[in-house]
Structure 1
């Protein structure tokens, strides 16, 4: 199974003719969606879901499905499939489990919106949350930056989830120096095989 890192929170998972994309937002290269047969959207914020880019991909391939929160699925219309926390389903041939349900708080209850995490055959993408799933996680896609996130929280998430390997995502707001600082802390303190995937780069899982 191949994991490719695209802009910010977006990853592409491929295994043979199975192609799945998670959170293709406004910082995501259009190439991420080429040939994909399903999209998982953790929530509707623009850095996780670019509606114009998604619309163009669905025009190219009307069979492209989008699995997401019920409210967002209703907004997207045809081809969008509502999923709920705790639900297990199939997307692009992959077995997926939706977990969590709430966006991490910034302050005063904001943004106060739902958020799904997705477990895709051992790969966990939490979206904008620090939710710890009950299921074992082999590969954690770790948020590295955001107004709702502290470095300590990122390290504690890894320590609690205890994945075999961890790759950072949600990092468009970090400068090169910020990325190096984050990577240094996680490499030293997270007790996992930690590595950064370059933009457009891939790893075999």
Structure 2
């Protein structure tokens, strides 16, 4: 499976002739191009850095073959589009071409008691090949080979991120949700969380537009 990293929380995943995009938000400059080539869009929650509502709605209008999966709030914002917008919750499974997807988790990580905590789901793909948790440190009850790890934002904390990696026990980490860190901050975070740091797990930093094989 091929993974392409876009800015912030957005990634494209491709296997055989199937292509899906996770979390094309307003912080991702090339989200439109990513969605234009996708068979499906998966959204973890409705925050704008993960979900560009206007972009996804326009893609649904112009591409009758496109399907979108997300929380109830995401589905309500988009409308049905003839059954092509799917509301998902933990325990659901579906396929995009040859890619199997299972849904995990329930809630966004707490930022502050005064800020509402929306629903948030994570997506486990291809039998554990890769897991995108959205904005939550929820550990799926399944083996994960590649964990996409959020490393910046108002809800993140390095100690909690380290404990999260230890609980998931992935074979490798790829940093996502890193846009709020400087280059120095990203490198420092990788050193603390990576193979020679708190988790003992190899961590990869990918520049936006970079692709790797998983």
In the superposition, the TM-score normalised over structure 2's length comes to 0.91
Of 198, 202, 206, which aligns to 1:189?
Answer: 198
Of 44, 50, 71, which aligns to 1:69?
Answer: 71
> CA–CA distance in 2 between the matches of 1:75 and 1:106?
23
Deviation at 1:56, TM superposition (A): 3.0
> CA–CA distance in 1 between the matches of 2:89 and 2:207?
32
The yes-or-no answer on 1:86 pairing with 2:79 is no
The yes-or-no answer on 1:5 pairing with 2:5 is yes
The yes-or-no answer on 1:137 pairing with 2:139 is no
- 8 Å CA contact 2:102, 2:123 repeated in 1: yes
- 8 Å CA contact 2:16, 2:98 repeated in 1: no
- Cα shift readout 1:103-144 (whole Å, capped 9, x = no counterpart): 000111633211001101121100000111111111100001
> Which consecutive residues of structure 2, in runs of 5 or more, have no partner in the other structure?
none
The yes-or-no answer on 1:100 pairing with 2:105 is yes
- 8 Å CA contact 1:74, 1:80 repeated in 2: no
Task: Single out whichever of 107-116 and 93-102 deviates more from structure 2.
Answer: 107-116
Look up the SS of the partner of 2:56 in the other structure: helix
Report what 2:213 is aligned to. Answer: 204
Deviation at 1:184, TM superposition (A): 1.3
Look up the SS of the partner of 1:101 in the other structure: coil
- Cα shift readout 1:164-205 (whole Å, capped 9, x = no counterpart): 111010111111111111111122222212111111101101
> CA–CA distance in 2 between the matches of 1:136 and 1:124?
10
Look up the SS of the partner of 2:73 in the other structure: helix
Between structures 1 and 2, the one with greater strand share: 1
For 1:25-64, what aligned pairs fall within 5 Å after superposition?
25-28=25-28, 29=30, 30-64=32-66
Count of aligned positions: 205
Report what 1:19 is aligned to. Answer: 19
Look up the SS of the partner of 1:166 in the other structure: strand
> CA–CA distance in 1 between the matches of 2:135 and 2:97?
23
> Which consecutive residues of structure 1, in runs of 5 or more, have no partner in the other structure?
none
Deviation at 1:17, TM superposition (A): 1.1
The yes-or-no answer on 1:111 pairing with 2:121 is no
> CA–CA distance in 2 between the matches of 1:41 and 1:93?
19
